[in-house]
Amino acid sequence: MYKNYLKIAWRNLKKQPFFTFLNVFGLAIGMTGAILISLFVHDELSFDKMFADSDRIYRIDTDIKFGGAEMESAQAAAPMANALQNDFAQVKNTVRFRTKGSMLLRKSETNDNSKELQTTFVDSTFFDMFGIQLLSGDRKTALTQPNTLVLTKTAAEKHFGIKNAIGQNLLLNNTDTYTITGVIDDLPTNSFLKDYSVFMAMAGHVASRENNWGGNNFYTFIKLIPSANADDIKIPLASMLEKYMLPWAQKYFPGMTGESFAAAGNSIRYHTMPLTDIHLYSARESEMSSNSSMQNVYILSFIGLFLIILACVNFMNLSTAHSLKRAKEVGVRKTLGSNKTELIQQFLIESGLIALISLLLAVALSITVLPLFNELSGRAISLPFTNPIFWLILFVATIILGLFSGSYPAFFMSRLMPVKTLKGGSHTSVGGGNIRNALVVFQFAISVFLIVSTLVVFQQLKFIQSKDLGFTKDQVLLINDTYAAGKQVKAFKEEVGRLGQVQSSTFSSFLPVPSSRSSSSFFEEGAIEQDKAIQMGTWYVDEDYIPTLSMKLIAGRNFDKQHLTDSTAVIINESTLKRLGVNPEAALGMRISEEIEIEKSKFFTVIGVVKNFHFESLRENINALGLFLDKSTGTLAIKLKAGDFKQTISSIESIWTKLAPGQPFSYRFMDDAFNTSYDAEQRLGRIFMVFTILSIFIACLGLFGLAAFNAQKRTKEIGIRKVLGASISQITYRLTTDFLKMVGLGILISLPLGWYTMNKWLEDFSYRIEISWWILALAAFLAIAVAILTVSYQSIKAAITNPVKSLKTE
Amino acid sequence: MIKIQNLKKSFRTEEVETLALNDVNLNVASGEFVAIMGPSGCGKSTLLNIIGMLDNPTEGSYKFSDHEVGGLKERQRTELRKGNLGFVFQSFNLIDELTVYENVELPLIYLKMNKSERKQKVMAVLERMKIAHREKHFPQQLSGGQQQRVAISRAVVTNPKLILADEPTGNLDSKNGIEVMNLLTELNQEGTTIVMVTHSDRDSHYAHRIVNLFDGQIVTESQNRAMEARV
Ligand SMILES: Nc1ncnc2c1ncn2[C@@H]1O[C@H](COP(=O)(O)OP(=O)(O)O)[C@@H](O)[C@H]1O
Ligand SMILES: [Mg+2]
């Protein structure tokens, strides 16, 4: 019985290659999108779950409000971990990270450095905390001694084999010697440690042992005992302020109490952040790795769902449309005694078959586009071929999909009255047209919504890129890790400066693109009460910094080599000026100091005020900042004259290899570095774009099929109209506008929705565009243009058919 | 009114070439009523379609009121056809989605006539064909005879010079068939030229002249004595 159904189903599909193709192709594209998105979402949700007892591990976060600055930190004070462990029985274990960013590594006897992008000091409890196994080395003693380190497999293999790495020495940043005491496997790509490859023993980090409750520089993780949960630690955490923080602070602000601290508008709060939530829910300053957000997961899930729904809608639309052609078959079957159930089964088996064929195609498509998708999403996702659950889910989902999409056409068909269908008369009596139209409206509403979203995301990105940032990022070349040249850094800058293509250059590790940051509390001379503190960024630059980056001084002067006193000078930005509460001219000559105790004070004199420039992402406001004249040789920023950059870069490289043999030469352009701050947005934009195109494509497939069906259904009518004197353009216009009405309705529904949603999205940005009418108009225009293109082919084809032929088919 | 000389029409399908009309010569004068007869597949409909400018001849000349139609483009044929020609088919060919009124109105819309003028003309012709009481009905709600009356209304609403009818009674019972033939005769008597394809001897008796087609060629032409006697 079922074999017979299958046979008939297969024949039916083969008999209608065009229809089958549209159906299979549309469904396969929708499925591919859904598969990719599901894998991506699964990856997002799996972050850090592989670690032992991951559900009991928490990070201690600190919210600080102090000196007019607010900070949500992912870090805690150095003594926090020990205090928690000693004072509270619920805390089983702790570990701290003190990250060091990128470092150069080499064997002591060679000159060739390798660059490791993420390195960190870590407590020796690291292995127990996360259940990490060593490939070689002793788990108990590794990382207990100062100047020892553990490498990941990949990092170790750059210099040694895994086995013989133990006991070898490495030189870090050409200065400190470390002994390798262990090698671990590379860390999972779906963990917060994914980019880390070098782990140095915390025992060698002096600040980690200091009783300093003022600085929050240690990523602190705690593991609770199995019977405890996060709520049990809330009160203990809150007590840390009274117990440790205030007593420590009173050493510097005698007489300060919890009340006076709070009265000055200050506060410090500690929180727990579950390890497995970090990736999707944590967006604090200086996270250990770049996180994602639950919002993105939701957006993507919705898009995935949309795609599948679109594909199903297509399927239903095409099937019901197509089934009209089979009305006669149904009529005949019914008169021959076939009952409703059997007919429904026949149709469902057909749609199930289509869904399964689509699945095969979708899997093939997914394999093909996965590398592209990974590039787009910045992941290393693969299809879990060996996982039976993956296949089971796919298979079951496909069957459900097939049955669901097939159900409407099946019931629709099985209800047809045999007498009417055999008479072959009116098509209107067959009905279903309204539902088909509603489905088209729905598809275009979704497509236009996605078009609006894509346009807005890209508009905002363009706005960011072209905004006046207060400095010029174009034609600025950044040479990374220049400190590696050691004593030769000065010579390097001088020789580079002599190149014809170079306008000017400046040394600093602090740049208005992702780079080093530091900050400190400052006090105006004579106002050292703690409530007058100004939290200010401290950037160390040279005298070429302001001209090289084309920043503007609104008062005073730049640093000058001739002024020996400039070593105690500071150039403040407008935000600092605002905190000082004076006008630019009045600020000149003011003195500020970092220290609270007058005797120890070293004062810095304000010599200039620089116009505010954006040094963090445009999501954030511009905070107080001071530029200090000091040696900071992390990066050489070079302003180039227009011309052949390649040539200039290779000249710079040869100077580098001459002065710093064996040190890696790496560079980036400042505008590219700037754009990396908007990676998340750009990724979102690109993902939006891809899925928008997919959804439009699916919608068009549906429209195309429907137009073909419609033209066919109306062959006779078109023929009659032509006989009665209608011209080709009149017929084309008529057929096309019928569809455009539906598309128009879809647009009307989706524009306000898109406008509203994207306004919400834009609220995240301190500096943002307004959604202008033309974005909405453009989205509508695109949808209409695509629809016209899709439909007009069929309409014109129908319109130019000789009426003699169409009337004959009757 | 119609001058056809050495007209040939062939159809090309994938493998075979069918010669549907082979060297046809035919003249129809203004005001004539001509019946074309012959066995199925002999080319009657093909000839009628060419006369109706729905199709182009492959060879030969066709002059309609001294206009050469042979080489015209589709748009030019449409222009020439509009208002000059009316069609009546065996299967009525009404548009199911339109009402009786709208069906009849259609040719006037394509003639770009204004609404009030259209209304007046449509109603006049519906009255005359005794179908006005059904103006709001859809074709499916009418009997075959009524449907054909609507089709004839639609064919004559533009006051065409020529009406082409392809087996107009083929789908009707004899009572309705006779009624349709009487209507056509009436129109002819008012001056409309009629060319009609038919299988039926009864219907052919209404014509002035019978043209017999066989295998794409005209084999005999005869004046209809009986008809003349009756008139
Ligand atoms: N569009 C066409 N394509 C191919 N052959 C056709 C076409 N129209 C008619 N014919 C062929 O031309 C011949 C005459 O057809 P037709 O004029 O319809 O005959 P009838 O006298 O029955 O009306 C037939 O053999 C038919 O098969
Ligand atoms: Mg015929």
The domain spans of chain B are 92-159
The helix/strand/coil state of A736 is helix
Q: Does A425 contact chain B (CB < 8 Å)?
A: yes
Rounded to 10 degrees, the C-alpha dihedral B135/B137/B139/B140 comes to -160
Nearest CA in chain B to A731: B110
Nearest beta carbon to residue A720 from set B74, B81, B95:
B95
Give the pLDDT confidence of A630-666 residue by residue, as tens digits.
Answer: 888 889 999 999 888 888 999 999 999 999 888 889 8
Residue B20 CA, ligand 1 centroid: distance in Å: 6
From the CA of B46, give the closest atom in ligand 1.
Answer: 17
CA of A332 to the centre of ligand 2 (A): 28
Instruction: Kindly determine whether residue A725 and residue B78, on different chains, have CB atoms separated by under 8 Å.
Output: yes
In angstroms, the Cα distances linking A644 to A417, A501, A502, A647 are 77, 8, 11, 6
Task: Look at residue A266 in the predicted model and tell me its pLDDT.
Answer: 83
* Ligand 1, atom 17, residue with closest C-alpha: B43
Query: Which secondary-structure segment (H or E) carries A104?
Result: strand A91-107
pLDDT tops 80 at residue B106: yes
**pLDDT single digits (tens) A186-237:** 999 889 999 899 999 999 998 899 888 888 889 999 999 999 888 888 888 9
Q: What is the pLDDT of residues A239-280, one digit of tens each?
A: 898 899 888 888 877 778 888 888 878 889 999 999 999 999
A423-439: average pLDDT: 59
Cα–Cα nearest to A460, from A55, A102, A758: A758
Contacts of A810 in chain B (CB under 8 A): 91, 93
CB B85 within 8 A of CB B52: yes
**Number of the ligand 1 atom closest to the C-alpha atom of B197:** 23
A806 against A463, higher pLDDT? A463
* Ligand 2 centre distance from Cα of residue B45 (Å): 4
Q: Which ligand is nearest to the CA of B91?
A: 2
User: Contact A727/A799 with Cβ under 8 angstroms?
Assistant: no
Q: Starting at the edge strand that comes first in sequence, how are the strands of the sheet with B217-223 ordered?
A: B85-89, B162-166, B193-197, B33-37, B209-214, B217-223
pLDDT at B24: 93
Q: Which pLDDT score is estimated for A408?
A: 79
pLDDT in tens, A546-592: 999 999 999 999 999 888 889 899 999 999 998 888 999 999 999 99
Question: B93, A719: Cβ pair inside 8 Å?
Answer: yes
Contact B107 A724 (CB under 8 A): yes
Of A336 and A505, more confident:
A505
A724 in B contact zone (CB under 8 Å): yes
Longest CA–CA span in chain A (Å) reads 108
Please, what's the b/e burial string for B85-103 (b: 16 or more CB within 10 A of its CB; e: otherwise)? Answer: bbbbbbbbbbbeebbbbbb
A727·B78 Cβ contact <8 A: yes
Band (pLDDT 50/70/90 cuts) for residue A491 is very high
ipTM reported for the complex, 2 dp: 0.88
Mean pLDDT of chain A: 86
Closest residue of A to B77, CA-based?
A725
Cβ of A724 and B106 within 8 Å? yes
Residue A175's pLDDT is what?
Answer: 82
Query: How far apart (Å, rounded) are the C-alpha atoms in residues B34 and B212?
Result: 11
Instruction: From residue A788, give the alpha-carbon distance in Å to each of A280, A282, A455, A737, A744.
Output: 42, 46, 21, 9, 12
The CA distance from A573 to A560, in Å, is 18
CA of B45 to the centre of ligand 1 (A): 7
* Tokens found for residue A638: 């070079």
Query: A427: pLDDT confidence band, cut at 50, 70 and 90?
Result: very low
pLDDT at residue number A103 = 84
Q: What is the pLDDT of residues A398-414, one digit of tens each?
A: 888 888 888 877 777 77
**What does the pLDDT average to over A132-137?**
92
Q: How many Å apart are CA A557 and CA A727, to the nearest integer?
A: 78
Name the residue among B55, B91, B111 with its Cβ closest to that of A802: B55
- C-beta of residue A156 within 8 angstroms of C-beta of residue A162: yes
Q: Per residue in B184-197, pLDDT tens?
A: 999 999 999 999 99
Tell which one of B7, B11, B44, B51 to mutate to probe ligand 1, the residue whose CB is within 8 A of the most ligand atoms: B11
pLDDT band at A678 (very low <50, low <70, confident <90, very high): confident
Q: Verify whether the Cβ–Cβ distance B110 to A730 is below 8 Å.
A: yes
Q: Are the Cβ atoms of B94 and A803 closer than 8 angstroms?
A: no
Domain ranges of chain A: 2-42+294-463+679-808, 68-265, 476-677
Q: CB B75 to CB A428 under 8 A?
A: no
pLDDT at residue A810, rounded to an integer = 41
pLDDT of residue A416: 64
Which residue ranges have their beta carbon within 6 Å of ligand 1?
A 805; B 11, 13, 18, 20, 40-46
Q: How confident is the model at residue A425 (pLDDT cuts 50, 70, 90)?
A: very low
Which of B46, B195, B213, when mutated, tests ligand 1's pocket best, judged by the most ligand atoms within 8 Å of its CB? B46
Which ligand 1 atom sits closest to the C-alpha of B47?
17
More confident residue, B224 or B60: B60
Is the pLDDT assigned to residue A3 strictly greater than 90? no
Q: Is B231 a residue whose pLDDT tops 80?
A: no
Mean pLDDT of the B29-43 span: 93
Q: How confident is the model at residue A81 (pLDDT cuts 50, 70, 90)?
A: very high
Mean pLDDT of the region A450-458: 87
Nearest to B95 among A717, A727, A810 (CB): A717
Q: How far apart are CA B197 and CA B165, in angstroms?
A: 6
Any chain B CB within 8 A of the CB of A100? no
